[in-house]
Structures are given as C-alpha cells and as structure tokens.
A and B are shown apart, each in its own frame.
Chain A
Amino acid sequence: MFMTNGQVAARPMTPVVGRIRRRRRETQDTFTLEIELEKKRRFSFAPGQFNMLYVFGVGEVPISISGDPAESDVVRHTTREVGVVTGAMRGLKEGDYLGIRGPFGSAWPVEEAEGRDVVVIAGGIGLAPLRPVLYHLMDHRERYNRVTILYGARTPEDILYKQELGRWSARLDVEVFATVDRATRTWHGNVGVITTLIPRAPFDPKNALAMVCGPEIMMHFCVRELHRRGVTSDRIFVSMERNMQCAIGLCGHCQYGPHFVCKDGPVFRFDQIEEFFSVREF
C-alpha cells in the first residue's frame, strides 16, 4: 500500500515502482527526475518531506521532494551526484525504473506562516526542498504578508531553477534576492555570502517566519543573522540532513540528540534543536 495523503503508509518499508518520465539537467552537477508511479498511482506530500529512492541493485538514498504539492500524477526530485547511488541515479534514462518509499518526515510550517512575513532562505541545492513551499506560497499568495526569497549559490552557473526564480522575481508581490560567492563582471547581481542579504531583506523581524535550507554551516550563519535581525528561534525553521536509512525512526542511523531526523524532522523548529546545532561532530 502506498501513501496518498502525506502520511506514512501501512507498509513503509516496501517500495513501489516508479518510471522516469523526464530527466532534466539543472546545473553541471544537479539533475531533476520526473517520476510517474506504476498503475498511475496518485502521490501527495507536504512541502519539506522526502522519499527514499531505490536504484535497483545499487542502493537507496533519501531525497527531498522538490515538485509542486498540487500535482499528484508525478513525483519530482532534484539531486546532486555525491555518491554511488546518486551517481547511478544520474545515469538513469527516461523510461528507466526505480523504487520509491515515502513520503516521510515533517513539513515546512506553511499554515503557521499564514498572516506573517515569510522569509525563505536557501543555499545551493537547498532550494530543492524549499521549492514545494514556494509553489504553495505562490498558489496561496493572499494568505501571506510579505514573501522574500534569499538564495545563495557558489557561482552564477550553479544557480538552480533559474527560470522559476526569474518568474517569481518578476512578480510584484514577491521579492527575490540571489547572491553568488564568486563571479566575473558578466554577472550583474549580488556577490557575497548569503548572510549579507539578511540585514537588507524587506521583512518585519517581529512578525516574520523564516524557513532555511542548505548546508549546516550555511544555516548556522543564517540563523545567527536572523537572530541579529530579531527573529526568534521559535519562528525559524531549518531542514536537517543525517544518514537516514529506514526513514521511519527504527534503525537509529539518523539520531540527533533525542530526535530522529527521518521521523521528527527533517524540518525542525530551531528552538527544538538549538542546543545541538553547531556542536562539533554532533
């Protein structure tokens, strides 16, 4: 039995088969797979959740869902080749099959954010787990106050979802600021670390809710800047990454203090994990 409402299924360890409908190169080392499920099964998830993707004969990895939560006929995952399984995944072609378990984990607080200024902060491929939130915010724009997207990447060539960022930044009701670490004069945008965008971003720190996703070191510095602006830990949400294997809180590989990242996370309210965050080798 597969899950259709964002809840964990009755048989969460059993994958269903998915077929790659489309494969898209995003940047030099990232790609998006558009997967349709066997027997035209529908799929629903909450923004922030992840699936376990199984490359047959190679292995299984957790990958955030990066598609639109409003679509149910396709599952989208953007990932980067970082190991054996994602390397094999990159080699898959349109029409190839893989196994899927999910969706698992906690979600971004899109309902709690209603009526507030929303600040979405993403670094590198961290934009992928936040893209479902952005689709949701755009689809229900009237429910939110100011919406600001801050995005940092290594170079202009590493910017993910360029067309969508361009489309969102063209909207009058959304502010998009992108910055890169390194650039030549052909890039006309911001250069510098993503934290430099936070002091200038247009949001009211007393009312804002921030969702942050990227490498832990980046989230560490972003949270520090958000605190400096006056955003409190109970209105900052981060997405954590650990070695998730069973995805249902049984195996313990992703234990993070009293939490299992696969089950209690990956999205945490920052005050839930503040005491462990930034602790060396924790």
Chain B
Amino acid sequence: MTVQSITQSLAELRFFKDMPREHLEMLAGCASPVAFKKGEFLLLVGHEATHFVAIREGMVALEMEAANKITTLQTIGEGSIVGWSWLVPPYTWHYDARAATPVSAIQFDARCVRDLCESNPAFGYDVLKHFSHVIVERLMNTRIQLADMYH
C-alpha cells in the first residue's frame, strides 16, 4: 500500500474522521497494513509499546490474566484503536490484545509517530486530542462496568 492509499484508508476509519488530511498523511508515513490470524496477539502485557493498531475489520479482545484466569475486559472492533500506552512513558503495554476473529488493520510505528509529535506541535496536539478520547472512553467504560449496572 502507498502512503496515499493508507491515508485514504485512515480517512475512512471512525477514529480519524475529523483529522486534517495533512495529519493523516503524516501518520500514514509511519504506518503499514497488517493482518492478524484469529488467536494471534497484537500486544502483550509488559512488552515495550513499539506500535499501535487501527482496526479496519475484525474484533480484538483486550484481556488480562488474574487469579489464573484470563478475563476479557473489552472487545473492540472496526474503526477503533488498539493501544495508547505508546504515548505515555514508560511505553509498556498494560494488557494483552488478542485477535478474537481474523483482523485486518493498519499498524503504526510508535517511535516514528512520537518523533513527529515532538517536531510538529500542531500535529502532536491533534494526535493527543484523538487519543485522549480513547483513554477517556476506556476510563468511562471501566467506570460503568464497575457500577455493575444490570444488578
């Protein structure tokens, strides 16, 4: 895929829908298409957060092992982002992410994106604003889950 075609693919994803074309092109320069088989891990807890992933098709399960049991915390699908720990030191994953179905995605080189954020504050702020949504949404969802609202 070319930078142009990756830019176009990003523009079609919900997460990037209001990002300026110029910023999408910068992100696309750090990105490549990737596919995961069902059961394959996208991220592993404790490993260095070298990349993050935008899902084009398929479902990813965010998992955590506790008390010798693997619990699915959340599943995320098309148009969503897997991974935000690449943005915050110490850049290590806090959970596992496993392909619950075959997944087609775009993978980003985290260092490449961080370097662009440092060198171009407008781009960096835009990226931060978009990822803040992911972080806030996951926090809100966790709070709602903790409320155990169906009981």
Chain A residues within 8 Å of B, Cβ to Cβ: 123-125, 152-154, 158, 179, 181-185, 187-193, 195-196, 199-200, 214-215, 217-218, 221
Whole-angstrom distance between the Cβ of B13 and the nearest chain A Cβ? 12
Interface check B2, CB cutoff 8 A: no
User: A199 is contacted by which of B14, B69, B147, B148 (Cβ under 8 Å)?
Assistant: B14
We find that the number of chain B residues with CB closer than 8 angstroms to chain A is 24
- When the two chains form their complex, are residues B70 and A191 in contact, meaning their CB atoms are under 8 A apart? no
User: What are 21 A-B interface contacts by the 8 Å CB criterion?
Assistant: A123-B149, A123-B150, A153-B150, A154-B151, A158-B150, A181-B148, A182-B72, A182-B145, A184-B70, A185-B70, A187-B72, A191-B73, A192-B76, A192-B141, A193-B144, A195-B144, A196-B74, A196-B141, A200-B78, A200-B79, A218-B150
Residues of B within 8 A of A124 (CB): 149-151
Residues of A within 8 A of B150 (CB): 123-125, 152-154, 158, 181, 214-215, 218
- When the two chains form their complex, are residues B144 and A221 in contact, meaning their CB atoms are under 8 A apart? yes
Q: Is the interface of A mostly helix, strand, loop or mixed?
A: mixed
- When the two chains form their complex, are residues B74 and A192 in contact, meaning their CB atoms are under 8 A apart? yes
- Since A191-B75, A218-B149 are in contact, a sample of 6 more A-B pairs with Cβ atoms closer than 8 Å, ordered by chain A residue number, is A184-B70, A185-B61, A188-B100, A190-B77, A191-B74, A196-B76
User: A215 is contacted by which of B61, B145, B149 (Cβ under 8 Å)?
Assistant: B149
- When the two chains form their complex, are residues B145 and A193 in contact, meaning their CB atoms are under 8 A apart? yes
Q: Is the interface of B mostly helix, strand, loop or mixed?
A: mixed
- When the two chains form their complex, are residues B77 and A200 in contact, meaning their CB atoms are under 8 A apart? yes
Residues of B within 8 A of A191 (CB): 61, 72-75
Mask for B63-101, Cβ within 8 A of A = 1, else 0? 100000111111111110000000000000000000010
